[in-house]
A and B are shown apart, each in its own frame.
Chain A
Amino acid sequence: MHEMALCAGLMATIEAQCRQEHAARVHAVYLEIGALAAVDAGALRSCFEVVSHGTVAQGACVEISAPPGEGWCPQCACMVTITSRLEPCPRCAGYPVIIRQGAQMRLVALDVT
């Protein structure tokens, strides 16, 4: 359950931002979790509910966008879109696809008052 460790870090970032911006309450947390990231969005939500309890972000809604992965197919010599590390190239059905993007886990915005 490394989602718990991630949420603890996320919560620390949120609290630091709120102090800096003099925000009293967080209403929404916008996350970007790439399709190839080593994290489960459902578990992340549950963990956030636990770590945010009693904080400025208690009850905040967690919006998660999941951009697809992008990789380079050496056979096709072009970038292709993939949704898992195990997928072959969608054009030529070959392996390997060299992952270039899609493993990111980012906090992109906070809706605060």
Chain B
Amino acid sequence: MCGVCGCSNPGTGGHAHDHHHDHHHHGGDNHRLLRLEEDLLAMNRHQAAHNRARCQDQGWFMVNLLSSPGSGKTTLLVATLQALAGRYTVGVIEGDQQTDLDAQRIRATGTPAIQINTGKLCHLDAPLVANALDQLALPPRALILVENIGNLVCPAAFDLGESLKVVLLSVTEGEDKPLKYPDIFAQAHMMLLTKADLLPHVSFDVARCLEHARRVNPGIGHLVLSATSGHGMAQWLDYLQRQVATFGNAGAAPLLTEACP
């Protein structure tokens, strides 16, 4: 029995629960109106709750990295893994429609990585991540970085069970992205403005971008960084480590400690 809902299926498949409904009988024609209260995302939400509970139990801090294609998610991941080398047990889940090129880049840093190929699917969902967690088979107290499919639209709707949502926006993309794709910015805890080394060459207005992001999400955090030049990376790593520490202190799970002294 699982601790989330008391159901007998703690596995990765997700499962629907019965909901109360009454029957309204129309006269004579045998039509019945079944009244329901069923969230279209119920199955994903349910599996996400299982993933979240599993992460709590295991002391896994899971981060969902979201952005459009080409905004530098993998480059940031590689730089982050190199900077954190030996400090945490880390696992990476890579989402792409095709190829395991990103997972190869991650594995080159010595970090285990599971590549999820979604085929035609445009987002990662909670059951896919549950399978990847099984495959990663990390020990307790680890950091899990999930690189979602490059897409600013669909991944916004699918909770993975993560503790932190980080949206990347590269300065070559334009500061109006938070207004054009508000859903994803509305949900993110942190916005990273990437490729900041290119700021002198593009007309990206950081202040305007922030104003747009705060219009859809008044509480969103932000950092300006470049994984290539290293600018802002110290602040990003500091932020990430503070989030990890807060998670370890707040949860019932054992405090997430560094793997090596």
Cβ contact of B31, chosen from A1, A17, A112, cutoff 8 A: A112
Q: Are A107 and B38 in contact (CB under 8 A)?
A: yes
Binding site for A on B (CB under 8 A): 16, 18, 23, 29-44, 121-123, 125, 153-154, 156-158, 179, 182-183, 186, 214-218
Cβ contact of B35, chosen from A5, A23, A85, A109, cutoff 8 A: A109
- A21: nearest residue on chain B (CB-CB)? B34
Q: Counting CB contacts under 8 A, is A39 at the interface?
A: yes
A97 to chain B, nearest CB (A): 9
Q: Are B33 and A111 in contact (CB under 8 A)?
A: yes
B interface secondary structure, majority: mixed
Q: Are B125 and A5 in contact (CB under 8 A)?
A: yes
- Which A73-113 residues have a C-beta within 8 angstroms of B? 84-86, 95-96, 98-99, 104-113
Complex CA gap A99/B216 in Å reads 9
- B155: nearest residue on chain A (CB-CB)? A2
Q: Counting CB contacts under 8 A, is A13 at the interface?
A: yes
B116 to chain A, nearest CB (A): 14
Q: Counting CB contacts under 8 A, is A38 at the interface?
A: yes
Q: Are B40 and A10 in contact (CB under 8 A)?
A: yes
Complex CA gap A99/B154 in Å reads 19
